[in-house]
Amino acid sequence: MHELAIAQSIVDAVEAKASECNAVRVKAVRLKIGEASGVVTDSLSFCFEMLTSLEPTLAGAKLLIDSMPHRAFCHHCDHEFSVTNFVAQCPTCKEWSNEIVSGTELQILEMEFEA
Ligand SMILES: [Zn+2]
């Protein structure tokens, strides 16, 4: 279950930032997660809740997730298309694309603190 390790990294990063900002409490954390990142968001939310409940600064912090669709760009016919089941093949010209536009991200977008 690698969501626990990911949640731990997120909690660590948020905690570091919170102490840097002298925040008393973390109200919310917003993440951007691509649908091809391999992260199960329900499981990540669960782990995040479990870990944050142990930290006074983070207890009750909301986890907001922006889900990003898996999309690629075709240079052959110059258009963007959605990738289904990890097959980045252009539906129009059938060329394979190696340019992923979105869907693989896993990052913290913003955090809301209470000072
Ligand atoms: Zn194409």
pLDDT in tens, 21-77: 999 999 999 999 999 999 999 999 999 999 999 999 999 999 999 999 999 999 999
**Centroid of ligand 1 to alpha carbon of 78 (angstroms):** 6
The first and second tokens of residue 48, run together, are 């995040």
Backbone angles phi, psi at 34, to 5 degrees: -80, 145
**Centroid of ligand 1 to alpha carbon of 80 (angstroms):** 8
**Centroid of ligand 1 to alpha carbon of 105 (angstroms):** 23
**Centroid of ligand 1 to alpha carbon of 90 (angstroms):** 5
**Centroid of ligand 1 to alpha carbon of 72 (angstroms):** 10
CA distance 39 to 33: 8
pTM: 0.87
**Centroid of ligand 1 to alpha carbon of 86 (angstroms):** 16
- Residue 1 is predicted with a pLDDT of 58
Of 66, 6, 71, 64, the C-alpha closest to 32 is 66
